[in-house]
Amino acid sequence: MPPPVDSVTVPPRGHRVRQTIEQLRERILGGEWPVGGRIPTEPQLVAALGVGRNTVREAVRALVHAGVLECRQGSGTYVVSTDELAPVVARRLTDDRMAEVVEVRRAFEVEAARLAALRRTPEDLAALDAALAVREAAWRGGRVDEFVEADAALHTAVVAAAHNGMLAELYASVGAALRSTVAQAMGGALAPERYVDHSRLVEAIRAGDPARAAIEAGAFLEPGPGA
């Protein structure tokens, strides 16, 4: 569960801010904005909630501080957790523990791929195809930051297709650390020898082959240049 409103830092003048935090939390808990999904933009929230821009900004900032939301430069604000696990994990998964992060990725992503092959829906497959296309376009564009976000979005789509809420929450809570492993693997440039084809993973999920999907997911995380 998300931290109660009383545990979130709210400015002294913030009765409206407190109410706005509660409204945001209700929408997150109600599934309107699922873990891993992007929330509406600030102007959209102002219109939907009927409060001022500063109130929305402070409410979002409070939930970012609580580890429920995460702001990603140039991409938007995302739901990363419905509890306080995210900031705890983020503090522990530092750059000097990247080998452990890769092991955590493997544990999550292999099982997620296996479950996705068993449970994927037509909507999930459409999301996977779209995410894969964006990832390929980002690679061709040559920008590491865009590719890292697109790669993370594809893996998040695989986790979503597993239809396991707890797995999705745990995966989202370590999202920043997982993206760091991809950025680290790229070494600052999208060199051809570092390219990893994820189409076989998507095809294994589409084929409903859990064993092959798990193998494909695990292969990306063996020692080597992939992501």
pLDDT tens string 2-28: 555 545 554 445 788 989 999 998 998
> Can you give the pLDDT at residue 171?
86
> Can you give the pLDDT at residue 178?
74
Average pLDDT over residues 162-170: 89
The residue to which tokens 């998300």 are assigned: 2
pLDDT averaged over the chain? 84
Share of the chain above pLDDT 70, in %: 84
> Can you give the pLDDT at residue 135?
93
* Residue 202 and residue 116 in contact, taking contact as beta carbons nearer than 8 Å: no
Query: What amino acid occupies position 29?
Result: L
Average pLDDT over residues 206-222: 91
Q: For residue 46, which of 23, 70, 74 has the smallest C-alpha distance?
A: 23
8-state DSSP, 79: E
Domains of the chain by residue range: 13-82, 86-220
Average pLDDT over residues 56-60: 93
CATH number corresponding to 13-82: 1.10.10.10
The answer to whether residue 201 scores a pLDDT higher than 90 is yes
> Can you give the pLDDT at residue 11?
47
Domain 86-220 part of CATH 1.10.10.10: no
Q: What are the structure tokens assigned to 117, written together?
A: 């092959």
> Can you give the pLDDT at residue 10?
46
8-state DSSP, 194: G
Query: What amino acid occupies position 40?
Result: P
> Can you give the pLDDT at residue 205?
98
List phi, psi (to 5°) of 211. Answer: -65, -45
Average pLDDT over residues 119-126: 96
pLDDT tens string 124-160: 999 999 999 999 999 998 888 888 889 989 999 999 9
DSSP 22-69: HHHHHHHHTTSS-TTPBPPPHHHHHHHHT--HHHHHHHHHHHHHTTSE
> Can you give the pLDDT at residue 100?
79
pLDDT bin (cut points 50, 70, 90) of residue 36 is: confident
Q: For residue 145, which of 186, 175, 193, 196 has the smallest C-alpha distance?
A: 186
8-state DSSP, 3: P
The answer to whether residue 59 scores a pLDDT higher than 80 is yes
The answer to whether residue 84 scores a pLDDT higher than 60 is no
